[in-house]
Amino acid sequence: MEQVIQTVVAGLMLGGVYALVAVGLNLIFGVVKIINFAHGELVLAGMYLTWWLWATFDINPYLSLLIVAPVMFLVGVALQQFLVAPMLTSSPTMKIFLTLGISVLLQNLALFMFGGQFRAVNDPWAEQNLTILGISVTYGRVTAFVVALTLVLGLFYLMKRTLMGKVLNAIVEDRETAGTIGIPVKKYYLLAMGIGVGLAGIAGTLIIPFQAAYPLAGAHFTLLAFVVVVLGGLGNMGGALVGGLILGIVETLTGTYVDPALQQVAVFIVFIIVLIVRPQGIFGGSARNAEVGLK
């Protein structure tokens, strides 16, 4: 029983980071109305940037958040300004092709710049164990969970309690009316994309102390993000938090008691079951009427 509890706790730690990835994806979809199939590659970009800062300048991965977060925010703004914005009036199919193209571009760029090797950050502190009531978890996983949960809750607060969040929710509800009353919708698109991509980059920084980066890792994170979103309901950020925790537990239990090679199979099984039994997600929500705020 103790091993089961420890496995579940480890899954919760990992699930918190998955939730952080998914809420960024949800935010981009809710505000900009584009499904970002390159979201996992943006997580990977955060991983590689953290590794490069560590390998080149010996910057602690957690201190590198001060660099990674603003850099990835600016990457998101640039993507919105130069690639996404010109396509906003295009068909949904063309938007999907755009984000898939960005995904392939980032994968090949990672392969060109860093090669096909696995790149990992070896932080002795992150690998040390924290033991409470007989349950041991590494400091790296605990830190990742605490930072991710803080950011997710902070985003909830932003969307529900601040003027900026209310403006973003107004754009979600009716962008045409929002523009009519004087809200600079395009500027808020830049903000939403910047925040969403910034959260993805931060997730990459939190993950790399215990998961190596390699060029195809982004596809894995994209899959996880979409499964979490489906679990919680498209557009439902509260559901994304719970969905991320559930998925983290499923992954760790499968890896511990079945076979690590079957972890993605378990993810797909959960994905298919939810689509069949409750396609709108555990907490509702739909692609047609997505809400960014916490339901």
52-61 pLDDT, tens digit per residue, is: 999 999 999 9
- Domain assignment present for residue 125? The answer is no
Q: Please report which confidence band the pLDDT of residue 288 belongs to, taking 50, 70 and 90 as the band edges.
A: very low
Query: Which residue from 203, 227, 192, 211 is spatially nearest to 45, judged by alpha carbons?
Result: 203
The long-range contacts involving 146-150, CB below 8 angstroms and separated by at least 24 positions, are 146/16, 147/65, 147/202, 147/206, 148/16, 148/17, 148/19, 148/20, 148/202, 148/203, 148/206, 149/16, 149/19
Backbone dihedral angles phi then psi of residue 155, each to the nearest 5 degrees: -70, -40
Q: For residue 202, is pLDDT > 90? A: yes
pLDDT given at position 238: 82
The Cα 275–Cα 29 span in angstroms is 19
Q: For residue 4, is pLDDT > 70? A: yes
- Domain assignment present for residue 170? The answer is yes
The Cα 31–Cα 8 span in angstroms is 34
pLDDT given at position 283: 72
The Cα 15–Cα 144 span in angstroms is 10
The Cα 28–Cα 23 span in angstroms is 9
pLDDT given at position 21: 96
- Domain assignment present for residue 121? The answer is no
- Domain assignment present for residue 251? The answer is yes
Within 13 Å of residue 126, how many CA atoms lie on the same side as its CB? 20
Within 13 Å of residue 133, how many CA atoms lie on the same side as its CB? 5
- Domain assignment present for residue 242? The answer is yes
Q: Please report which confidence band the pLDDT of residue 8 belongs to, taking 50, 70 and 90 as the band edges.
A: very high
Q: For residue 287, is pLDDT > 80? A: no
Answer with the residue of higher pLDDT: 89 or 78: 78
- Domain assignment present for residue 248? The answer is yes
Query: By mean pLDDT, which of 27-31, 38-42, 146-150 is the weakest?
Result: 27-31
Q: For residue 235, is pLDDT > 80? A: no
Q: Is the pTM of this model over 0.75?
A: yes
- Domain assignment present for residue 289? The answer is no
- Domain assignment present for residue 132? The answer is no
Structure tokens at 69: 């977060």
Summarize the confidence of residues 258-275 as an average pLDDT: 87
Query: By mean pLDDT, which of 29-43, 158-172, 240-254, 279-293 is the weakest?
Result: 279-293
Structure tokens at 152: 């997710």
Q: What is the CATH number of the domain that holds 175?
A: 1.10.3470
Question: What's the structural domain count of the chain?
Answer: 1
pLDDT given at position 293: 42
What DSSP state is assigned to residue 82?
I
pLDDT given at position 183: 93
Q: What is the DSSP string of 168-227?
A: HHHHHH-HHHHHHTT--HHHHHHHHHHHHHHHHHHHHHHHTTTS-B-TTHHHHHHHHHHH
Q: Please report which confidence band the pLDDT of residue 292 belongs to, taking 50, 70 and 90 as the band edges.
A: very low
The residues that bridge with 131 in the sheet, in sequence order, are: 136
Contacts of residue 137, defined as CB under 8 A and 6 or more positions apart, other chains included, come to 6, 9, 10, 13, 129, 130
The Cα 5–Cα 276 span in angstroms is 30
User: From residue 291, how far is each of 23, 57, 173 by CA, in Å?
Assistant: 12, 42, 8
Place of tokens 């603003």: 70
Structural domain boundaries, residue 176: 2-115+139-277
